């Protein structure tokens, strides 16, 4: 897909989302939506990969993230209710192989959305993400799990 087609696709998606979220159909709202969508696209599209997104990989990633969020919610709730004084927090450095910033941001967002983990810092020089984990006995296992569950799908995401 060309950069121009990518811009129009994002522009229309953002503009329609703006109109749906605003809730009222008016000329002023539509014009403001055009301005906001154009500004966001002009700011974001140059940093996006010019390749197509593989929809099945995106669906698999979304399903995996949703399942992990629910499971982590239950796990953190159980931890807090049963043994809050015996948590084993740790800092984990996850080495990354992601080729562009958009995928690094997606991984950091996924890690932060999952209860019990928080992405704190990305070191571009060493290509590693620093993650705080609420409870783990093996920090290396957490890094390996992040790489196999999320990074592998993010690497497949663009054709």
Which residues does 14 contact at the CB level (< 8 Å), separation at least 6?
33, 36, 37, 40, 41
**3-state DSSP assignment of residue 128:** strand
Q: Are residues 85 and 151 in the same domain?
A: yes
User: Predicted confidence band at 67 (pLDDT cuts at 50, 70, 90)?
Assistant: very high
Would the pLDDT of 134 be above 90?
A: yes
Beta carbons of 142 and 131 less than 8 angstroms apart = yes
Looking at residue 18, its pLDDT comes to 86
The C-alpha atoms of residue 63 and residue 153 are separated, in whole angstroms, by 12
Q: Are residues 40 and 80 in the same domain?
A: no
Q: In what order do the strands lie in the sheet with 117-123?
A: 90-95, 128-133, 117-123
Dump pLDDT digits (tens) for 105-133.
Answer: 999 999 999 999 999 999 999 999 999 99
**Residues 24-35, mean pLDDT to the nearest whole number:** 84
Q: Are residues 87 and 24 in the same domain?
A: no
Range of the domain at 16: 3-47
Q: Are residues 96 and 136 in the same domain?
A: yes
Q: Are residues 61 and 34 in the same domain?
A: no
Q: Are residues 84 and 113 in the same domain?
A: yes
Looking at residue 108, its pLDDT comes to 95
- Say what the pTM is: 0.73
Q: Are residues 38 and 66 in the same domain?
A: no
Q: Are residues 20 and 43 in the same domain?
A: yes
Domain count for the chain, please give it.
2
Q: Are residues 98 and 32 in the same domain?
A: no
Q: Are residues 74 and 143 in the same domain?
A: yes
């Amino acid at each position: 897909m060309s950069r121009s087609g990518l811009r129009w696709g994002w522009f229309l998606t953002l503009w329609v989302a703006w109109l749906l979220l605003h809730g009222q159909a008016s000329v002023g709202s539509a014009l403001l939506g055009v301005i906001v969508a154009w500004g966001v696209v002009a700011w974001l599209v140059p940093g996006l990969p010019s390749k197509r997104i593989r929809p099945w990989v995106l669906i698999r990633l979304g399903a995996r993230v949703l399942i992990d969020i629910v499971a982590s919610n239950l796990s953190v709730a159980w931890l807090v209710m049963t043994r809050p004084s015996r948590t084993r927090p740790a800092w984990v450095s996850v080495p990354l192989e992601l080729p562009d910033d958009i995928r690094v941001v997606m991984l950091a967002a996924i890690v932060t959305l999952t209860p019990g983990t928080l992405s704190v810092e990305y070191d571009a020089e060493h290509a590693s993400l620093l993650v705080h984990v609420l409870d783990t006995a093996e920090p290396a296992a957490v890094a390996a799990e992040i790489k196999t569950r999320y990074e592998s799908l993010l690497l497949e995401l663009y054709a």
